[in-house]
């Protein structure tokens, strides 16, 4: 078992004020493999105090110096890439090769990408007689999930540090190793004490303490809509900025001029990535009613080609879910779909192995867009196929959930873009277009608020300040200079 027995606060590894520990398990063997401290409110107070003390100095540090620090962190993470990928494969369950390519190499590169954003960003701009300044918002509390642990940490911590903020990170206790590896990399990179702090523990204790803390200026949270609602409620008591990236029930809309097999393969590949444990997973595939039966047959063929197995074994395309609780929730939703009358095209709730939290790749078909399986986020390898009569109905079904995070449209490109414009969601893949880390990522409706990735994610950690200077030319008429409100 790997034991991380200290928290990282004010540039040092320190003992927690709490006396408990938390174990994280191997998703394929069910054995405890990682142990971390069960931090408490006193640890949060210490971390926030360190971040507050470090803030002024870090905010005044030239952007070029902050950018160079991000590059050093990226380089230190690259040295630890094998350890990161192994931690994700075992704790989360993603097959090792994918864990290295998707969950390790991408985030490591993103630290360096945010160095470029930091040094090229325009922090000051003259607007008429005003000098408009962008300043770091202050101390940021980052609360991150288990499904893409390094990626979600990176999309918060890297831009926050680049913008001049200081950070307290509370990672998921379910897949915590990468947060400690990151802290080791940050320490080796020589980031000033207090700029980054790590406190582990349970959300109801550490997360709540961060969200309500009066010295925390912003909370950036990724997780379930239910938990995000609570974070927003608690944070509202101190009127701090809140960025939320929450759940999704994304639709892949297959138009009548699409390559159906390409659409089926692309949608299932998206839906089953990380065993379906992705908020942006396209878990509903909408197809023309005339091609409903054809789409079901294709989906069965594609889904059954996904080899379920140990994430460390060569050839495994679909690993286990992250925990017994997650597996039980997904199995419960599969059984409920059957009970509600959905057609089980392939898969089902029967466990494929005696050990490990595995779920078979599963496909349902239903004409009921209001059914549980067509409305609730599953967070497992489960696709639901729905027919539509015409494009207006396809768009209505795509928009008819509380969420609006991701989606896809398949068809002739101009046609697909026209349809995509009418779907209320933050990101839509056109014909399987790849994820772009420089484009904004975030949701509509109950999928959250704010944006991550690229310069858009960087700007989330900045405040505006206007310096009203004496006009350079003749003053405006009095009515134009009225004080607002």
> Does the pLDDT value for residue 383 go beyond 90?
yes
CA distance 8 to 69: 18
β-strand pairing of 407-410 with 7-9: unpaired
pLDDT digits (tens, 9 = 90+) for 30-40: 999 999 999 99
Query: Which tokens belong to 305?
Result: 């080609």
> Does the pLDDT value for residue 26 go beyond 80?
yes
Domains of the chain in sequence order: 2-246+447-466 (3.40.605.10), 250-430 (3.40.309.10)
Distances (CA, A) of 170 to 7, 28, 158, 208, 292: 11, 25, 15, 10, 45
Residue spans of beta strands (DSSP E) within 26-104: 32-37
> Does the pLDDT value for residue 476 go beyond 60?
no
What is 410-448 written as a DSSP string? ESSHHHHHHHHTTS-SS--EETTPPP-TTS-B--EETTE
CA distance 139 to 393: 46
474 — pLDDT class (breaks 50, 70, 90)? low
Backbone angles phi, psi at 139, to 5 degrees: -85, 130
CA distance 33 to 335: 31
pLDDT of residue 31: 97
pLDDT digits (tens, 9 = 90+) for 236-251: 999 999 999 999 999 9
User: Per-residue pLDDT averaged across 68-96, rounded?
Assistant: 98
Are 289 and 280 in contact by the 8 Å Cβ rule? The answer is: no
pLDDT of residue 479: 57
pTM: 0.95
DSSP state of 289: G
CA distance 275 to 98: 11
pLDDT digits (tens, 9 = 90+) for 411-461: 999 999 999 999 999 999 999 999 999 999 999 999 999 999 999 999 999
Are 234 and 211 in contact by the 8 Å Cβ rule? The answer is: yes
Closest CA to 352 of 343, 362, 342: 362
Q: What is the chain's mean pLDDT, rounded?
A: 96
SS percent in the chain: helix, strand, coil, step 5: 40, 20, 35
The residue whose two tokens read 């405890």 is 32
pLDDT of residue 471: 83
Catalytic residues: 245, 279
CA distance 437 to 457: 10
Q: Give residue 326's Cα distance to chain centre.
A: 17
User: Per-residue pLDDT averaged across 325-341, rounded?
Assistant: 98
Environment class of 241 (CB within 10 Å of its CB; exposed 0-12, middle 13-18, buried 19+): middle
CA distance 274 to 261: 22
User: Per-residue pLDDT averaged across 135-159, rounded?
Assistant: 98
Distances (CA, A) of 356 to 26, 149, 359: 8, 20, 9
CA distance 118 to 158: 10
Closest CA to 164 of 69, 48, 49, 45: 69
The residue whose two tokens read 């702090």 is 197
Mapped onto helix, strand or coil, the DSSP state of residue 47 is: helix
478 — pLDDT class (breaks 50, 70, 90)? low
CA distance 129 to 152: 40
> Does the pLDDT value for residue 146 go beyond 90?
yes
What is 246-270 written as a DSSP string? ----EEEEE-TTS-HHHHHHHHHHH
Query: Which tokens belong to 360?
Result: 């078979």
> Does the pLDDT value for residue 102 go beyond 80?
yes
* C-alpha atoms less than 13 angstroms from C-alpha of 360 in its C-beta half-sphere: 18
User: Per-residue pLDDT averaged across 168-176, rounded?
Assistant: 98
pLDDT of residue 475: 56
């Amino acid at each position: 078992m790997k034991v991380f027995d200290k928290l990282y606060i004010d540039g040092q590894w320190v003992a927690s004020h709490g006396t408990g520990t938390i174990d994280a398990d191997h998703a394929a063997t069910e054995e405890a493999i990682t142990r971390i401290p069960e931090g408490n409110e006193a640890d949060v107070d210490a971390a926030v105090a360190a971040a507050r003390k470090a803030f002024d100095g870090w905010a005044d540090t030239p952007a070029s110096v902050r950018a160079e620090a991000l590059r050093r962190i990226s380089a230190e993470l690259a040295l630890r890439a094998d350890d990161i990928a192994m931690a994700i494969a075992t704790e989360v369950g993603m097959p090792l090769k994918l864990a290295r390519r998707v969950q390790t190499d991408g985030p490591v590169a993103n630290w360096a990408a945010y160095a470029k954003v930091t040094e090229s960003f325009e922090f000051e701009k003259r607007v008429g007689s005003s000098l408009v300044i962008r300043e770091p918002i202050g101390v940021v509390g980052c609360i991150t999930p288990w499904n893409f642990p390094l990626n979600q940490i990176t999309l918060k911590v890297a831009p926050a540090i680049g913008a001049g903020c200081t950070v307290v990170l509370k990672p998921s206790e379910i897949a915590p190793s990468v947060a400690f590896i990151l802290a080791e990399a940050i320490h080796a990179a020589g980031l000033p004490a207090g700029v980054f702090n790590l406190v582990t523990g349970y959300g109801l204790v550490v997360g709540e303490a961060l969200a309500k803390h009066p010295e925390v200026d912003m909370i950036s949270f990724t997780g379930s809509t239910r938990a995000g609602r609570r974070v927003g409620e608690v944070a509202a008591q101190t009127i701090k900025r809140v960025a939320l990236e929450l759940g999704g029930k994304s639709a892949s809309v297959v138009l009548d001029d699409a390559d159906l097999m390409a659409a089926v393969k692309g949608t299932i590949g998206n839906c089953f990535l990380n065993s379906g444990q992705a908020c942006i997973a396209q878990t509903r595939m909408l197809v023309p009613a005339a091609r409903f039966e054809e789409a079901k047959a294709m989906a069965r063929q594609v889904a059954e080609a996904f080899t379920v197995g140990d994430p460390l074994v060569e050839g495994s395309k679909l690993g286990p879910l992250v925990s017994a609780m997650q597996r039980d929730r997904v199995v419960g939703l599969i059984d409920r779909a059957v009970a509600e009358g959905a057609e089980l095209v392939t898969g089902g709730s029967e466990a494929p192995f005696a050990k490990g939290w595995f779920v078979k790749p599963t496909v349902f078909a239903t004409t009921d867009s209001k059914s549980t399986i067509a409305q609730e986020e599953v967070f497992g390898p489960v696709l639901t196929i729905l027919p539509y009569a015409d494009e207006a109905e396809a768009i209505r079904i795509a928009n008819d959930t509380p969420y609006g995070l991701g989606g896809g449209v398949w068809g002739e490109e101009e046609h697909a873009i026209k349809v995509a414009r009418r779907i209320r969601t933050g990101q839509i893949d056109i014909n399987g277009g790849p994820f772009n880390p420089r484009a904004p990522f975030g949701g509509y409706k109950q999928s959250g608020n704010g944006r991550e990735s690229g310069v858009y994610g960087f700007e989330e950690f900045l405040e505006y300040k206007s310096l009203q200077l004496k006009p350079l030319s003749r003053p405006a008429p009095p009515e134009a200079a009225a004080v607002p409100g």
